[in-house]
Structure 1
Amino acid sequence: MSVTDDAIEAIKQMIVDGELKPGDRLPREPDLAERLGLSRNSLREAVRALSLIHVLDVRRGDGTYVTSLEPSLLMDAMGFVVDFHRDDTVLQFLEARRAIEPAVTELAAMRMSTTDIEGLAVLLDSLGAEPTVEQLVDNDLEFHRRIAAGSGNAVLASLLESVSGRTQRARTWRGVTQEGVVAQTLAEHRAIQHALATRQVDIARAVATLHVAGVEQWLRQTLVEQA
Protein backbone atom coordinates (compact mmCIF):
# COMPACT_ATOMS: atom_id res chain seq x y z
CA MET A 1 0.00 0.00 0.00
CA SER A 2 1.39 3.43 -0.95
CA VAL A 3 1.92 6.28 1.48
CA THR A 4 -0.97 8.10 -0.17
CA ASP A 5 -3.22 5.07 0.43
CA ASP A 6 -2.16 5.16 4.09
CA ALA A 7 -3.18 8.80 4.29
CA ILE A 8 -6.53 8.06 2.64
CA GLU A 9 -7.15 5.23 5.11
CA ALA A 10 -6.31 7.50 8.06
CA ILE A 11 -8.81 10.17 7.00
CA LYS A 12 -11.39 7.49 6.25
CA GLN A 13 -10.97 6.07 9.75
CA MET A 14 -11.52 9.49 11.31
CA ILE A 15 -14.86 9.69 9.48
CA VAL A 16 -15.85 6.11 10.29
CA ASP A 17 -15.06 6.69 13.97
CA GLY A 18 -17.24 9.81 13.99
CA GLU A 19 -14.33 12.11 14.71
CA LEU A 20 -15.10 13.90 11.46
CA LYS A 21 -18.75 14.25 10.53
CA PRO A 22 -20.41 15.41 7.28
CA GLY A 23 -19.98 19.18 7.10
CA ASP A 24 -16.99 19.25 9.47
CA ARG A 25 -13.86 21.12 8.52
CA LEU A 26 -10.58 19.20 8.55
CA PRO A 27 -7.83 20.43 10.90
CA ARG A 28 -5.12 22.59 9.38
CA GLU A 29 -2.85 20.65 7.03
CA PRO A 30 0.34 20.87 9.14
CA ASP A 31 -1.55 19.91 12.32
CA LEU A 32 -3.33 16.96 10.70
CA ALA A 33 -0.16 15.72 8.99
CA GLU A 34 1.75 15.80 12.29
CA ARG A 35 -1.05 14.07 14.15
CA LEU A 36 -1.33 11.26 11.59
CA GLY A 37 2.43 10.89 11.22
CA LEU A 38 2.30 11.70 7.51
CA SER A 39 4.14 14.08 5.24
CA ARG A 40 2.18 17.12 4.13
CA ASN A 41 2.60 16.03 0.52
CA SER A 42 1.04 12.61 1.20
CA LEU A 43 -1.81 14.23 3.07
CA ARG A 44 -2.35 16.69 0.23
CA GLU A 45 -2.54 13.84 -2.31
CA ALA A 46 -5.01 11.97 -0.09
CA VAL A 47 -7.24 15.03 0.16
CA ARG A 48 -7.13 15.46 -3.60
CA ALA A 49 -8.05 11.81 -4.11
CA LEU A 50 -10.98 11.96 -1.70
CA SER A 51 -12.22 15.16 -3.30
CA LEU A 52 -12.35 13.32 -6.65
CA ILE A 53 -14.97 10.93 -5.29
CA HIS A 54 -16.80 13.72 -3.43
CA VAL A 55 -15.91 12.64 0.09
CA LEU A 56 -14.10 15.91 0.75
CA ASP A 57 -14.83 19.39 -0.53
CA VAL A 58 -11.79 21.66 -0.95
CA ARG A 59 -12.86 25.30 -0.71
CA ARG A 60 -10.11 27.63 -1.83
CA GLY A 61 -9.25 30.12 0.88
CA ASP A 62 -11.62 28.50 3.38
CA GLY A 63 -10.40 24.98 4.08
CA THR A 64 -11.36 21.38 3.42
CA TYR A 65 -14.69 19.95 4.56
CA VAL A 66 -16.29 16.54 4.76
CA THR A 67 -19.11 16.69 2.23
CA SER A 68 -22.61 17.07 3.59
CA LEU A 69 -23.81 13.65 2.50
CA GLU A 70 -26.11 11.28 4.30
CA PRO A 71 -23.91 8.91 6.35
CA SER A 72 -24.87 5.88 4.24
CA LEU A 73 -23.99 7.69 1.02
CA LEU A 74 -20.75 8.91 2.50
CA MET A 75 -19.76 5.39 3.46
CA ASP A 76 -20.71 4.15 -0.02
CA ALA A 77 -18.40 6.73 -1.58
CA MET A 78 -15.54 5.71 0.66
CA GLY A 79 -16.27 2.04 0.11
CA PHE A 80 -15.76 2.62 -3.60
CA VAL A 81 -12.01 2.82 -3.03
CA VAL A 82 -11.89 -0.66 -1.57
CA ASP A 83 -14.62 -2.12 -3.78
CA PHE A 84 -12.92 -1.51 -7.09
CA HIS A 85 -9.53 -2.61 -5.73
CA ARG A 86 -11.09 -6.00 -4.96
CA ASP A 87 -13.41 -6.28 -7.94
CA ASP A 88 -12.28 -8.94 -10.39
CA THR A 89 -14.80 -7.55 -12.90
CA VAL A 90 -12.62 -4.48 -13.34
CA LEU A 91 -9.69 -6.74 -14.16
CA GLN A 92 -11.79 -8.53 -16.75
CA PHE A 93 -12.60 -5.24 -18.45
CA LEU A 94 -8.93 -4.28 -18.36
CA GLU A 95 -8.04 -7.62 -19.96
CA ALA A 96 -10.66 -7.00 -22.65
CA ARG A 97 -9.26 -3.54 -23.29
CA ARG A 98 -5.76 -5.02 -23.62
CA ALA A 99 -7.07 -7.39 -26.28
CA ILE A 100 -9.05 -4.82 -28.28
CA GLU A 101 -7.10 -1.57 -28.11
CA PRO A 102 -3.86 -2.76 -29.77
CA ALA A 103 -5.88 -4.13 -32.71
CA VAL A 104 -7.74 -0.83 -33.02
CA THR A 105 -4.45 1.12 -32.88
CA GLU A 106 -2.95 -1.12 -35.54
CA LEU A 107 -5.86 -0.41 -37.87
CA ALA A 108 -5.57 3.31 -37.16
CA ALA A 109 -1.91 3.21 -38.21
CA MET A 110 -3.09 2.03 -41.60
CA ARG A 111 -6.32 3.98 -42.02
CA MET A 112 -6.35 7.13 -39.90
CA SER A 113 -5.93 10.32 -41.91
CA THR A 114 -2.74 12.35 -41.54
CA THR A 115 -4.80 15.36 -40.46
CA ASP A 116 -6.46 13.39 -37.67
CA ILE A 117 -3.13 11.98 -36.51
CA GLU A 118 -1.68 15.49 -36.37
CA GLY A 119 -4.76 16.44 -34.35
CA LEU A 120 -3.70 13.90 -31.72
CA ALA A 121 -0.45 15.81 -31.22
CA VAL A 122 -2.40 19.05 -30.80
CA LEU A 123 -4.66 17.32 -28.27
CA LEU A 124 -1.67 16.18 -26.21
CA ASP A 125 -0.05 19.63 -26.39
CA SER A 126 -3.25 21.19 -25.05
CA LEU A 127 -2.59 19.63 -21.63
CA GLY A 128 0.34 21.91 -20.89
CA ALA A 129 3.35 21.08 -18.74
CA GLU A 130 1.65 20.02 -15.50
CA PRO A 131 -1.88 18.72 -16.07
CA THR A 132 -4.06 17.55 -13.19
CA VAL A 133 -5.15 13.91 -13.00
CA GLU A 134 -8.68 14.95 -13.97
CA GLN A 135 -7.41 16.79 -17.06
CA LEU A 136 -5.19 13.84 -17.98
CA VAL A 137 -8.04 11.32 -17.74
CA ASP A 138 -10.34 13.50 -19.87
CA ASN A 139 -7.56 13.93 -22.43
CA ASP A 140 -6.81 10.20 -22.32
CA LEU A 141 -10.43 9.27 -23.07
CA GLU A 142 -10.55 11.67 -26.02
CA PHE A 143 -7.16 10.48 -27.31
CA HIS A 144 -8.23 6.85 -27.45
CA ARG A 145 -11.70 7.72 -28.77
CA ARG A 146 -10.15 9.50 -31.75
CA ILE A 147 -7.85 6.55 -32.48
CA ALA A 148 -10.80 4.17 -32.33
CA ALA A 149 -12.71 6.34 -34.77
CA GLY A 150 -9.64 6.46 -37.00
CA SER A 151 -9.51 2.68 -37.17
CA GLY A 152 -12.39 2.73 -39.63
CA ASN A 153 -14.07 -0.16 -37.80
CA ALA A 154 -17.24 1.06 -36.09
CA VAL A 155 -17.84 -2.28 -34.37
CA LEU A 156 -14.43 -2.35 -32.71
CA ALA A 157 -14.72 1.34 -31.83
CA SER A 158 -18.07 0.70 -30.14
CA LEU A 159 -16.73 -2.27 -28.22
CA LEU A 160 -13.71 -0.31 -27.06
CA GLU A 161 -15.87 2.62 -25.95
CA SER A 162 -17.95 0.30 -23.79
CA VAL A 163 -14.96 -1.47 -22.27
CA SER A 164 -12.87 1.65 -21.75
CA GLY A 165 -15.64 3.46 -19.90
CA ARG A 166 -15.77 0.69 -17.31
CA THR A 167 -12.07 1.16 -16.51
CA GLN A 168 -12.15 4.93 -16.05
CA ARG A 169 -12.37 4.85 -12.24
CA ALA A 170 -9.35 2.57 -12.00
CA ARG A 171 -7.37 4.80 -14.35
CA THR A 172 -8.29 7.89 -12.31
CA TRP A 173 -7.34 6.26 -9.02
CA ARG A 174 -4.03 5.08 -10.45
CA GLY A 175 -3.29 8.64 -11.53
CA VAL A 176 -3.90 9.88 -8.00
CA THR A 177 -2.05 7.19 -6.05
CA GLN A 178 0.86 6.10 -8.28
CA GLU A 179 3.81 8.45 -8.42
CA GLY A 180 4.91 9.63 -11.85
CA VAL A 181 1.97 8.16 -13.73
CA VAL A 182 0.94 11.47 -15.35
CA ALA A 183 4.31 11.94 -17.05
CA GLN A 184 4.44 8.24 -17.95
CA THR A 185 1.00 8.30 -19.55
CA LEU A 186 1.84 11.37 -21.61
CA ALA A 187 5.09 9.81 -22.82
CA GLU A 188 3.24 6.64 -23.87
CA HIS A 189 0.58 8.68 -25.68
CA ARG A 190 3.24 10.55 -27.61
CA ALA A 191 4.90 7.25 -28.55
CA ILE A 192 1.58 5.98 -29.89
CA GLN A 193 0.99 9.19 -31.83
CA HIS A 194 4.49 9.02 -33.34
CA ALA A 195 3.98 5.40 -34.41
CA LEU A 196 0.71 6.37 -36.09
CA ALA A 197 2.30 9.38 -37.79
CA THR A 198 5.11 7.28 -39.21
CA ARG A 199 2.73 4.46 -40.16
CA GLN A 200 4.72 1.89 -38.18
CA VAL A 201 1.91 -0.64 -37.82
CA ASP A 202 3.74 -3.18 -35.66
CA ILE A 203 5.21 -0.49 -33.42
CA ALA A 204 1.80 1.12 -32.99
CA ARG A 205 0.34 -2.18 -31.82
CA ALA A 206 3.27 -2.85 -29.48
CA VAL A 207 3.27 0.53 -27.75
CA ALA A 208 -0.51 0.40 -27.40
CA THR A 209 -0.23 -3.00 -25.73
CA LEU A 210 2.35 -1.75 -23.24
CA HIS A 211 0.29 1.35 -22.57
CA VAL A 212 -3.02 -0.35 -21.79
CA ALA A 213 -1.29 -3.09 -19.77
CA GLY A 214 -0.01 -0.50 -17.29
CA VAL A 215 -3.29 -0.02 -15.45
CA GLU A 216 -3.97 -3.75 -15.40
CA GLN A 217 -0.52 -4.47 -13.97
CA TRP A 218 -0.97 -1.77 -11.32
CA LEU A 219 -4.38 -3.11 -10.26
CA ARG A 220 -3.14 -6.71 -10.09
CA GLN A 221 -0.31 -5.56 -7.82
CA THR A 222 -2.77 -3.61 -5.69
CA LEU A 223 -4.94 -6.71 -5.32
CA VAL A 224 -1.90 -8.69 -4.17
CA GLU A 225 -1.06 -6.03 -1.58
CA GLN A 226 -4.68 -5.92 -0.39
CA ALA A 227 -4.67 -9.71 0.01
Structure 2
Amino acid sequence: MLKKLLVISLLGAAAASTAQAASPGFYVGAGIGQARYDDTIPTQIRDAYRNDPGYSFVSASMVDDTDQAWKIFGGYRILPWLGVEFSWVDLGEVRSNFVLRSLVPLTNANAVIDGRYKISGPSGTVFGELDFTDNFSGLLRVGLYNAKLDYSEGGLNADNSPHSYSHSDSTTKITYGLGLNVRVNPSWDVRLDWDRYTDVGRRFALRNETNGRFDHIDLISLNLAYRFGQ
Protein backbone atom coordinates (compact mmCIF):
# COMPACT_ATOMS: atom_id res chain seq x y z
CA MET A 1 0.00 0.00 0.00
CA LEU A 2 2.80 2.46 0.89
CA LYS A 3 4.54 1.83 -2.45
CA LYS A 4 1.30 2.42 -4.36
CA LEU A 5 0.67 5.72 -2.56
CA LEU A 6 4.21 6.90 -3.26
CA VAL A 7 3.91 6.06 -6.97
CA ILE A 8 0.50 7.73 -7.27
CA SER A 9 1.79 10.88 -5.52
CA LEU A 10 4.84 11.06 -7.77
CA LEU A 11 2.89 10.54 -10.99
CA GLY A 12 0.34 13.14 -9.90
CA ALA A 13 3.08 15.68 -9.31
CA ALA A 14 4.61 14.84 -12.69
CA ALA A 15 1.31 15.45 -14.46
CA ALA A 16 0.86 18.85 -12.79
CA SER A 17 4.43 20.06 -13.20
CA THR A 18 5.55 22.72 -15.69
CA ALA A 19 9.11 23.32 -14.41
CA GLN A 20 12.27 23.36 -16.50
CA ALA A 21 15.43 21.23 -16.34
CA ALA A 22 17.57 21.45 -13.22
CA SER A 23 20.55 23.80 -13.08
CA PRO A 24 23.79 23.40 -11.10
CA GLY A 25 23.54 24.54 -7.48
CA PHE A 26 22.80 23.59 -3.89
CA TYR A 27 19.65 21.90 -2.61
CA VAL A 28 18.30 20.47 0.65
CA GLY A 29 15.47 18.08 1.40
CA ALA A 30 13.80 15.55 3.65
CA GLY A 31 11.73 12.43 3.25
CA ILE A 32 9.82 9.66 5.00
CA GLY A 33 9.24 6.06 4.05
CA GLN A 34 9.63 2.45 5.07
CA ALA A 35 12.76 0.38 5.68
CA ARG A 36 12.80 -3.39 5.16
CA TYR A 37 15.56 -5.50 6.73
CA ASP A 38 16.71 -8.85 5.37
CA ASP A 39 15.82 -11.76 7.68
CA THR A 40 18.97 -13.86 8.10
CA ILE A 41 19.39 -13.03 11.82
CA PRO A 42 17.63 -16.26 12.99
CA THR A 43 20.07 -18.38 10.97
CA GLN A 44 23.02 -16.46 12.40
CA ILE A 45 21.79 -17.03 15.97
CA ARG A 46 21.34 -20.75 15.32
CA ASP A 47 24.86 -21.04 13.89
CA ALA A 48 26.38 -19.09 16.82
CA TYR A 49 25.00 -21.55 19.38
CA ARG A 50 25.65 -24.70 17.34
CA ASN A 51 28.54 -25.95 19.55
CA ASP A 52 28.04 -23.78 22.62
CA PRO A 53 28.62 -25.72 25.88
CA GLY A 54 26.19 -23.63 27.93
CA TYR A 55 23.10 -23.48 25.71
CA SER A 56 21.47 -25.40 22.90
CA PHE A 57 19.48 -23.57 20.25
CA VAL A 58 15.69 -23.99 20.35
CA SER A 59 14.23 -21.35 18.02
CA ALA A 60 14.71 -17.87 16.58
CA SER A 61 12.65 -15.48 14.49
CA MET A 62 12.31 -11.86 13.45
CA VAL A 63 9.31 -10.41 15.29
CA ASP A 64 9.23 -7.67 12.67
CA ASP A 65 11.56 -6.75 9.81
CA THR A 66 10.10 -3.39 8.68
CA ASP A 67 9.73 0.02 10.26
CA GLN A 68 9.06 3.64 9.38
CA ALA A 69 12.20 5.52 8.38
CA TRP A 70 13.22 9.06 7.48
CA LYS A 71 16.12 11.03 6.05
CA ILE A 72 17.36 14.58 5.62
CA PHE A 73 19.81 15.48 2.90
CA GLY A 74 21.66 18.21 1.11
CA GLY A 75 23.64 18.24 -2.09
CA TYR A 76 25.20 20.12 -4.95
CA ARG A 77 24.68 19.66 -8.67
CA ILE A 78 28.07 20.16 -10.24
CA LEU A 79 26.52 19.81 -13.69
CA PRO A 80 22.85 19.46 -14.65
CA TRP A 81 23.39 15.68 -14.80
CA LEU A 82 26.05 15.13 -12.07
CA GLY A 83 26.22 15.93 -8.36
CA VAL A 84 27.03 14.88 -4.79
CA GLU A 85 24.61 14.32 -1.91
CA PHE A 86 25.05 13.91 1.85
CA SER A 87 22.31 12.43 4.02
CA TRP A 88 21.42 11.47 7.55
CA VAL A 89 19.23 8.37 7.52
CA ASP A 90 17.28 6.77 10.36
CA LEU A 91 16.25 3.24 9.38
CA GLY A 92 13.99 2.66 12.35
CA GLU A 93 13.97 -0.36 14.63
CA VAL A 94 13.32 -4.07 14.16
CA ARG A 95 13.12 -6.90 16.71
CA SER A 96 14.17 -10.52 17.04
CA ASN A 97 13.28 -13.26 19.50
CA PHE A 98 15.23 -16.42 20.31
CA VAL A 99 14.95 -19.27 22.78
CA LEU A 100 17.90 -21.21 24.22
CA ARG A 101 17.90 -24.38 26.34
CA SER A 102 20.33 -24.28 29.27
CA LEU A 103 22.80 -27.19 29.45
CA VAL A 104 23.97 -26.27 32.94
CA PRO A 105 23.17 -29.01 35.52
CA LEU A 106 20.26 -28.26 37.86
CA THR A 107 18.97 -25.54 35.53
CA ASN A 108 17.73 -27.24 32.35
CA ALA A 109 15.30 -24.44 31.54
CA ASN A 110 14.82 -22.07 28.63
CA ALA A 111 16.21 -18.57 28.25
CA VAL A 112 13.87 -16.34 26.21
CA ILE A 113 15.61 -13.31 24.68
CA ASP A 114 14.19 -10.33 22.78
CA GLY A 115 16.64 -8.40 20.61
CA ARG A 116 16.21 -4.86 19.25
CA TYR A 117 18.18 -3.39 16.34
CA LYS A 118 18.15 0.37 15.70
CA ILE A 119 20.25 1.71 12.82
CA SER A 120 21.03 5.26 11.71
CA GLY A 121 23.92 7.26 10.31
CA PRO A 122 25.34 9.52 7.59
CA SER A 123 25.95 8.73 3.94
CA GLY A 124 27.74 10.40 1.06
CA THR A 125 26.93 9.57 -2.56
CA VAL A 126 27.67 10.65 -6.10
CA PHE A 127 24.65 10.74 -8.40
CA GLY A 128 23.96 10.92 -12.08
CA GLU A 129 20.67 12.29 -13.40
CA LEU A 130 19.00 11.52 -16.72
CA ASP A 131 16.23 13.81 -17.97
CA PHE A 132 13.23 12.04 -19.51
CA THR A 133 11.35 15.31 -20.04
CA ASP A 134 11.89 18.93 -18.97
CA ASN A 135 10.36 18.17 -15.58
CA PHE A 136 10.83 14.42 -15.04
CA SER A 137 14.15 12.62 -14.52
CA GLY A 138 15.74 9.49 -13.12
CA LEU A 139 18.71 9.30 -10.74
CA LEU A 140 21.37 6.72 -9.95
CA ARG A 141 23.35 7.03 -6.69
CA VAL A 142 26.35 5.19 -5.25
CA GLY A 143 28.52 5.93 -2.23
CA LEU A 144 29.29 5.03 1.39
CA TYR A 145 27.12 4.77 4.51
CA ASN A 146 28.32 4.75 8.10
CA ALA A 147 25.76 2.65 9.98
CA LYS A 148 25.56 2.98 13.75
CA LEU A 149 23.86 -0.13 15.13
CA ASP A 150 22.38 0.15 18.62
CA TYR A 151 21.57 -3.35 19.84
CA SER A 152 19.84 -4.30 23.08
CA GLU A 153 18.47 -7.49 24.63
CA GLY A 154 15.80 -8.09 27.25
CA GLY A 155 13.92 -11.11 28.51
CA LEU A 156 14.53 -13.92 30.98
CA ASN A 157 17.58 -16.06 31.66
CA ALA A 158 17.30 -19.80 32.16
CA ASP A 159 17.18 -19.33 35.95
CA ASN A 160 14.18 -16.97 35.49
CA SER A 161 16.22 -13.85 36.33
CA PRO A 162 15.85 -10.72 34.16
CA HIS A 163 18.15 -10.56 31.13
CA SER A 164 19.62 -7.26 29.96
CA TYR A 165 22.42 -6.41 27.51
CA SER A 166 23.22 -3.57 25.10
CA HIS A 167 26.02 -2.66 22.71
CA SER A 168 26.67 -0.11 19.96
CA ASP A 169 28.86 -0.55 16.92
CA SER A 170 29.41 1.15 13.57
CA THR A 171 30.60 0.03 10.15
CA THR A 172 31.12 1.85 6.85
CA LYS A 173 29.79 0.06 3.80
CA ILE A 174 28.48 0.67 0.28
CA THR A 175 25.07 2.19 -0.42
CA TYR A 176 23.41 2.65 -3.79
CA GLY A 177 19.98 3.56 -5.06
CA LEU A 178 17.63 4.82 -7.74
CA GLY A 179 15.27 7.78 -7.80
CA LEU A 180 12.51 9.37 -9.85
CA ASN A 181 12.48 13.16 -9.63
CA VAL A 182 9.72 15.62 -10.55
CA ARG A 183 10.46 19.36 -10.84
CA VAL A 184 7.23 20.84 -9.51
CA ASN A 185 8.42 24.42 -10.07
CA PRO A 186 11.82 26.16 -10.42
CA SER A 187 12.62 25.69 -6.69
CA TRP A 188 10.82 22.52 -5.54
CA ASP A 189 11.30 18.86 -6.42
CA VAL A 190 9.33 15.77 -5.40
CA ARG A 191 11.42 12.60 -5.41
CA LEU A 192 10.64 8.91 -4.99
CA ASP A 193 13.78 7.04 -3.84
CA TRP A 194 14.81 3.44 -3.41
CA ASP A 195 18.07 3.06 -1.45
CA ARG A 196 19.93 -0.09 -0.42
CA TYR A 197 22.38 -0.16 2.51
CA THR A 198 24.62 -3.24 2.38
CA ASP A 199 26.39 -5.40 4.99
CA VAL A 200 25.17 -3.50 8.06
CA GLY A 201 26.53 -4.84 11.37
CA ARG A 202 28.66 -7.90 12.12
CA ARG A 203 27.54 -11.51 11.91
CA PHE A 204 25.94 -12.76 15.15
CA ALA A 205 28.48 -14.51 17.37
CA LEU A 206 29.15 -14.82 21.08
CA ARG A 207 31.20 -11.61 21.34
CA ASN A 208 30.19 -8.07 22.24
CA GLU A 209 30.58 -6.50 18.80
CA THR A 210 28.94 -9.35 16.84
CA ASN A 211 25.22 -8.87 17.41
CA GLY A 212 23.98 -9.56 13.90
CA ARG A 213 24.60 -8.59 10.28
CA PHE A 214 21.97 -7.51 7.78
CA ASP A 215 22.98 -8.37 4.23
CA HIS A 216 20.95 -5.37 3.10
CA ILE A 217 18.36 -2.88 4.28
CA ASP A 218 16.07 -1.33 1.66
CA LEU A 219 14.49 2.09 2.10
CA ILE A 220 11.66 3.41 -0.05
CA SER A 221 10.96 7.08 0.63
CA LEU A 222 8.99 10.03 -0.66
CA ASN A 223 11.06 13.23 -0.50
CA LEU A 224 10.65 16.97 -0.94
CA ALA A 225 13.68 19.03 -1.99
CA TYR A 226 14.30 22.77 -2.27
CA ARG A 227 16.81 24.10 -4.81
CA PHE A 228 18.54 27.40 -3.98
CA GLY A 229 18.90 30.24 -6.45
CA GLN A 230 16.44 28.96 -9.03
Q: State the TM-score bracket (shorter-chain normalisation).
A: under 0.3
Bigger radius of gyration, 1 or 2?
Answer: 2
**What is the TM-score with the length of structure 1 in the denominator?**
0.22
**What is the TM-score with the length of structure 2 in the denominator?**
0.22
Question: Where is the strand percentage greater, Structure 1 or Structure 2?
Answer: 2
